[in-house]
Structure 1
Amino acid sequence: MADTVPLQKRGPLRSSWARARKARPQLILSRRPRCRLRVLRWCGRRRLRRRLLQAQAADADWREGGCLAPRAAAVVRPKTAAPSRPPSPPTSPTSDEDPIQGCSASLPIPPLRPAGPGRGVLLLPVERGFTFSGICRLTCLYGQVQVFGFTISQGQPPQDVFSTYTHSRLTINAVPYSMPAKSKREMKKEARTLLKAHLNQDDRSWLMKNFSPLCSIVMLENLKTSTVNFINSHPGLSNVFLQESPTFQIGSEYFALRSIGIRKEKKKNGLRLTESFLSALEELVSVSCEEVDGCSVILVCGAQDVGKSTFNRYLINQLLNSISCVDYLECDLGQTEFTPPGCISLLNITEPVLGPPFTHQRTPQKMVYFGKSSCKSNYENYIEIIKYVFGSYKREAPLIVNTMGWVTDEGLLLLVDLIRLLSPSHVVQLSSGRSKFMPNLTPDYVDDTDGLYTRSKSKVRNRGFLLPEFADSLEFGDEDKESPVSFTGHQLICVQTDFAFRKTPRNRESHNRVFRDLAVLAYLGQLQPAAPKPLQPLNGLTPYQVPFNAVALRVIHADVAPTHILYALNASWIGLCKILDDVRGYVNGPILLAQTPICDCLGFGVCRGIDMEKRLFHILTPVPPEELRTVNCLLVGAISIPRCVLKNQHGHEGMIPYVTTDYNLGIPGSSEEIGARETEATPKEKEKQHPKAKFYRKSN
């Protein structure tokens, strides 16, 4: 054969027109010319958007024929016919219904129908889902749906759902539910009766036309809370809850979603759960609900960014489907779930967790302020605090223990100590293809490995630190002597996760810092009046006046000279604590503590200013007054106020502080380049000095 010239492969980069042409169906029987796919310029997008908005205002369909017909339903017209408008879809029994209904067969999910300002009705067939981003209030009107593992049935109260940009998008899944033997007509009659209290006649008629057995009907409403409004008021954080993106799929569904405050997302952007993830959840829920001889203690561990927090939230929601409450022990200082960072806490959870940590700040049963986002260089105090908080666990509900993502070197040894201290019934070890190697924490491995402060079962090793729980196993003696105490074994469950990560080793610390700032902002958002009342700047809120001689002071993260203690306290994030010692009786003040106490923390606040003449601290806090009466200690840690509060706070009238670089970071206790002072400034100078940052007063 003659030599043939091999065809050159087409490069990986093809134009959008070539890709669209290849995906276009081959048989198109119409005289309507094809519209060449091209990239619209900015002016073209503006014209298209204006045209769409005009059509929407006129209550007309810009596509002239409603929804496009499915590809298989091609219409053949005679060659002599030359219609002035495109061919209409084939006639069917539903052709005279709502245009949204006509395209429901070709869409991957059922459409959402507007049901008034800021409201929409979602019809979900069984085992179908709706992935979205944004925040909304969800009410199940008929049937049963599941969000993030929590099942919501008809008749239950509404749930606030937060599908934020910072985490995987949430999906509303219609799940099968048991129904007595009823005909479709009886089901429709029952559904119509339930919908009368929520929808008008047109919406009910649309739902009944599209109704199918075992489907679920969900109401989505616009949600505004004081915390959400407070976070959105800071520049750069308005896209946390809903990130705007250009789209050309504009129609009635688009405007309905926009009025609610959500946006439809692709399924691939939702949460991806592996088989081992689901099987571990099923096993733990079954064991926790059937436990007879005490409650199960589930310790979740793994490297950074493997999905420990996601697993904990999903497990909490799954357990709340069967039991009334779940206990939660937070041992991760940097990425706390229900409190601001730097805390070790014990909580009793009775409501589902349907969002990231900064959307569900709650009051713990027991909390100690550690003061730093890492326990490095202070392991002893970390262990002692966990032991103190864990002592309040009453074993009346299953306990979930969240641990740090530090699982190498001393972090792994510290994790072994925690397993021995807490004696969990189950250890869930998460890993992924991107995580660092971590040995399987089997009962044999824990027994044969020395911890940071405990010894293995077969060795005796003095680490120089004694715990009462480990007194028997740490007794001094022959190194070959076997430990008389055998720790109770646990069941190891290994879970392989597969999540879409935005974090990399290079930007992980910046992401974690943003999450910590969001948690602090969410806590400060509790100071705002309930929505829909307007936001108030923090400097406009009335602070509490605390005398110098009523509280003791302590800086946790550094040794600060007594002459600088008030500088460290002013404009700082402080823990409001209660110690056993009586600090009353001192005439002047301030009262300084020589060492950091292990004491209960009742909440947090901001030292807004210090009045040296009247010897008063001015403190802003959402803690109720009845609990503030028992506060007699203020702890200052390395957790700082977010800079956006100082530089971009809502409201700018009155005294104006500024952020300066003329600040000595070498002074012990200084953790932020923050300066604040009263100044008489001209309007131009006020603009240069960040006029929106007015917040603090300087101590004299």
Structure 2
Amino acid sequence: MKRSSSSIDQELTNNDDKLYQESRTKMVRRSSPRPEYNDEKQKESNEQATALDQRVCDKTSYRLPRYSLILGSFSEPPTYVIHFLDSHLTFLQSFQICSLFGRVRIHGYTLHPSTFYSVYNYRTNSPVSIEFINSNTTTTTTTTFLPDIKSFISDIQLADNALFNVQQKGGDIILIRKESNNDLSFINIMREHQTYKNWFLESYNLFEQDKWKQLEQNLHIRLIETTDQIAVIPREVYISTVDHIINRWLNETLEDLPFVVLICGEKDMGKSTFIRYLTNRALNHINSTFSLTYFDCDIGQCEFSIGGCLSYINLDSPLLGPPCSHIKSNPKSDRLLYYGLVSPQTSPVRYLQYVNKLRQLWNIDQKKTNQKRSLILINTMGWGT
């Protein structure tokens, strides 16, 4: 008996379904142990990664300085008195620091004695370290600063102890206190944000009788190990290049002809880090004869203004943090031109016209003031080369 084509098609379809179900069953049976195996392996791998992260965190969090000591604290909120004897100390987050003897340098800038400076070391940028630059101490030098020490440290016994330690062991006395801007609503919102709160690293394991952990807890900062892979430690080529630039500026510049340095290079080459270091080193020589001007021509990552602007500013204070900190510590730009884009790629001729206009404005402003031997630093964009 003949079967209709529809019944044959139906049978073939049913057979295909059976074969599919059988093959799927076999496939499931063969592969069913694998997800369990993968889950176990993945779980073990995650546990190992977590343990590794914890060890790294512990190494970073619980490191103590080799020689430097916390002598005590005074006032409320507390200001910590540290006898600085190590070559470097590096703290994350923002804080204020004061060197009582002027033997401390931060990213090329030598701190003036008895002056507080704000430092911003958030995880978005490579942190700058506190560097000890002079180990020579004499009784005459420390005695000269005795009135200043007691005027800065309200606890007389603590002030005498600090002076005694410097006279006996050398080094410097640094004061560290909380940055007042940390109480702003913007900072508080950042601390509570799910993503950005990790930048502040305020989860601590506090040990009893540990003054360094107490300092971290009270000031909301974190002491980390100072290495060239973590912190910004200028290399010899940096230092020699900067020395060469500054020597030429001091010895060859005329009042009517500034010494111009243009920083260029590919992306992620360290241009911003280098120009900040050069700026800070140059600021050590600013006086009635020499001046420093910063031309900010990187419209994508401006140093002293919002994006899309070109500006120049006559600097007199150091750069100890990312661009957002410069806006607070430095006055507004002397001249600012709004370009309107964060890249000149679509209109390079117009961009060059703005740069030329900024140069003309600087020439006009210079004629109105007492002329000095100027060093002009020009910051450019990464793609420009």
TM-score (norm 2): 0.70
- Given that 1:109 and 1:130 are in contact with CA atoms closer than 8 Å, whether structure 2 keeps it comes out as no
Give the counterpart letter for 1:162 in structure 2.
Answer: Y
Residue 388 of structure 1 corresponds to which residue in structure 2?
Answer: 357
Instruction: Name the SS for the 1:167 alignment partner.
Output: coil
Residue 230 of structure 1 corresponds to which residue in structure 2?
Answer: 186
Instruction: Name the SS for the 1:135 alignment partner.
Output: strand
Q: Write out aligned runs for 1:204-215 (5 A).
A: 204-211=159-166, 212=168, 214-215=170-171
Separation in structure 2 between the aligned mates of residue 153 and residue 380 of structure 1, nearest angstrom:
44
Q: Offset of 1:348 from its aligned partner? A: 1.1
C-alpha change, 1:384 and 1:226, in structure 2 (3 Å) is farther
Q: Offset of 1:176 from its aligned partner? A: 1.3
Residue 11 of structure 2 corresponds to which residue in structure 1?
Answer: none
C-alpha change, 1:143 and 1:403, in structure 2 (3 Å) is closer
Separation in structure 2 between the aligned mates of residue 273 and residue 247 of structure 1, nearest angstrom:
32
Residue 86 of structure 1 corresponds to which residue in structure 2?
Answer: none
Residue 124 of structure 1 corresponds to which residue in structure 2?
Answer: 84
Give the counterpart letter for 2:180 in structure 1.
Answer: K
Separation in structure 2 between the aligned mates of residue 283 and residue 240 of structure 1, nearest angstrom:
40
Matched, 1:401 2:378: yes
Instruction: Name the SS for the 2:249 alignment partner.
Output: helix
Residue 174 of structure 2 corresponds to which residue in structure 1?
Answer: 218
Instruction: Name the SS for the 1:401 alignment partner.
Output: strand
C-alpha change, 1:225 and 1:391, in structure 2 (3 Å) is same
Residue 272 of structure 1 corresponds to which residue in structure 2?
Answer: 233
Matched, 1:315 2:263: no
Separation in structure 1 between the aligned mates of residue 109 and residue 195 of structure 2, nearest angstrom:
28
Q: Offset of 1:229 from its aligned partner? A: 4.0
C-alpha change, 1:378 and 1:323, in structure 2 (3 Å) is same
Q: Offset of 1:256 from its aligned partner? A: 2.1
Cα deviation, 1:44-87, whole Å, max 9, x if unaligned, reads: xxxxxxxxxxxxxxxxxxxxxxxxxxxxxxxxxxxxxxxxxxxx
- Given that 2:65 and 2:89 are in contact with CA atoms closer than 8 Å, whether structure 1 keeps it comes out as no
Give the counterpart letter for 1:194 in structure 2.
Answer: D
Which of 68, 75, 79 is matched with 1:110 structurally?
68
Residue 220 of structure 2 corresponds to which residue in structure 1?
Answer: 261
Separation in structure 2 between the aligned mates of residue 169 and residue 138 of structure 1, nearest angstrom:
15
Residue 33 of structure 2 corresponds to which residue in structure 1?
Answer: none
C-alpha change, 1:334 and 1:296, in structure 2 (3 Å) is same
Matched, 1:377 2:377: no
Separation in structure 2 between the aligned mates of residue 214 and residue 283 of structure 1, nearest angstrom:
31
Separation in structure 1 between the aligned mates of residue 296 and residue 243 of structure 2, nearest angstrom:
23
Residue 368 of structure 1 corresponds to which residue in structure 2?
Answer: 337
Residue 201 of structure 2 corresponds to which residue in structure 1?
Answer: 243
Q: Write out aligned runs for 1:542-553 (5 A).
A: none
Matched, 1:296 2:271: no
Q: Write out aligned runs for 1:189-588 (5 A).
A: 189-199=143-153, 200-211=155-166, 212=168, 214-225=170-181, 229-234=185-190, 235-236=193-194, 239=197, 242-247=200-205, 251-268=210-227, 269-293=230-254, 294-324=257-287, 325-361=291-327, 362-394=331-363, 396=372, 397-406=374-383, 411-412=384-385
Instruction: Name the SS for the 2:152 alignment partner.
Output: coil
Q: Offset of 1:152 from its aligned partner? A: 1.1
Separation in structure 2 between the aligned mates of residue 296 and residue 215 of structure 1, nearest angstrom:
36
Q: Offset of 1:120 from its aligned partner? A: 0.4
Instruction: Name the SS for the 2:248 alignment partner.
Output: helix
Give the counterpart letter for 1:334 in structure 2.
Answer: G
Q: After TM superposition, what 4+ stretches of structure 1 lie above 6 angstroms from structure 2?
A: none
Give the counterpart letter for 2:174 in structure 1.
Answer: V
Cα deviation, 1:380-434, whole Å, max 9, x if unaligned, reads: 211111111111223642100111100xxxx44xxxxxxxxxxxxxxxxxxxxxx
TM-score (norm 1): 0.40
- Given that 2:79 and 2:178 are in contact with CA atoms closer than 8 Å, whether structure 1 keeps it comes out as yes
Q: Offset of 1:187 from its aligned partner? A: 5.0
Separation in structure 2 between the aligned mates of residue 239 and residue 289 of structure 1, nearest angstrom:
45
Q: Offset of 1:272 from its aligned partner? A: 2.9
Matched, 1:140 2:112: no
Cα deviation, 1:135-183, whole Å, max 9, x if unaligned, reads: 112222234211111101324x32111111111122111211776xx5x
Residue 463 of structure 1 corresponds to which residue in structure 2?
Answer: none
Instruction: Name the SS for the 2:216 alignment partner.
Output: helix
Q: Offset of 1:188 from its aligned partner? A: 5.0
| Identity score, percent | 23
- Given that 2:253 and 2:259 are in contact with CA atoms closer than 8 Å, whether structure 1 keeps it comes out as no
Cα deviation, 1:19-54, whole Å, max 9, x if unaligned, reads: xxxxxxxxxxxxxxxxxxxx99xxxxxxxxxxxxxx
C-alpha change, 1:308 and 1:232, in structure 2 (3 Å) is farther
Q: Offset of 1:312 from its aligned partner? A: 1.0
- Given that 2:118 and 2:179 are in contact with CA atoms closer than 8 Å, whether structure 1 keeps it comes out as yes
Query: What is the root-mean-square deviation in Å for CA atoms of aligned residues?
Result: 3.0
Cα deviation, 1:444-493, whole Å, max 9, x if unaligned, reads: xxxxxxxxxxxxxxxxxxxxxxxxxxxxxxxxxxxxxxxxxxxxxxxxxx
Q: Offset of 1:209 from its aligned partner? A: 4.7
Give the counterpart letter for 2:379 in structure 1.
Answer: N
Cα deviation, 1:611-653, whole Å, max 9, x if unaligned, reads: xxxxxxxxxxxxxxxxxxxxxxxxxxxxxxxxxxxxxxxxxxx
C-alpha change, 1:209 and 1:177, in structure 2 (3 Å) is closer
Separation in structure 1 between the aligned mates of residue 74 and residue 195 of structure 2, nearest angstrom:
30
Q: Offset of 1:191 from its aligned partner? A: 4.6
- Given that 2:308 and 2:339 are in contact with CA atoms closer than 8 Å, whether structure 1 keeps it comes out as yes
Q: Offset of 1:249 from its aligned partner? A: 5.5
Q: Offset of 1:299 from its aligned partner? A: 0.3
Residue 169 of structure 1 corresponds to which residue in structure 2?
Answer: 127
Higher helix share: 2
Instruction: Name the SS for the 2:293 alignment partner.
Output: strand
- Given that 1:143 and 1:177 are in contact with CA atoms closer than 8 Å, whether structure 2 keeps it comes out as no
Q: Offset of 1:204 from its aligned partner? A: 2.3
Give the counterpart letter for 1:379 in structure 2.
Answer: P
- Given that 1:109 and 1:128 are in contact with CA atoms closer than 8 Å, whether structure 2 keeps it comes out as no
Residue 108 of structure 2 corresponds to which residue in structure 1?
Answer: 149
Separation in structure 2 between the aligned mates of residue 368 and residue 203 of structure 1, nearest angstrom:
52
Q: Offset of 1:326 from its aligned partner? A: 1.2
Give the counterpart letter for 1:310 in structure 2.
Answer: T
Q: Offset of 1:316 from its aligned partner? A: 0.8
**Paired residue total:** 303
List runs of 5+ in structure 1 lacking aligned partners: 1-12, 17-38, 41-105, 413-700
Q: Offset of 1:255 from its aligned partner? A: 1.2
C-alpha change, 1:241 and 1:205, in structure 2 (3 Å) is farther
Cα deviation, 1:327-357, whole Å, max 9, x if unaligned, reads: 1111111111010111111111111111100
Separation in structure 2 between the aligned mates of residue 340 and residue 232 of structure 1, nearest angstrom:
22
List runs of 5+ in structure 2 lacking aligned partners: 1-44, 49-53, 56-63, 367-371
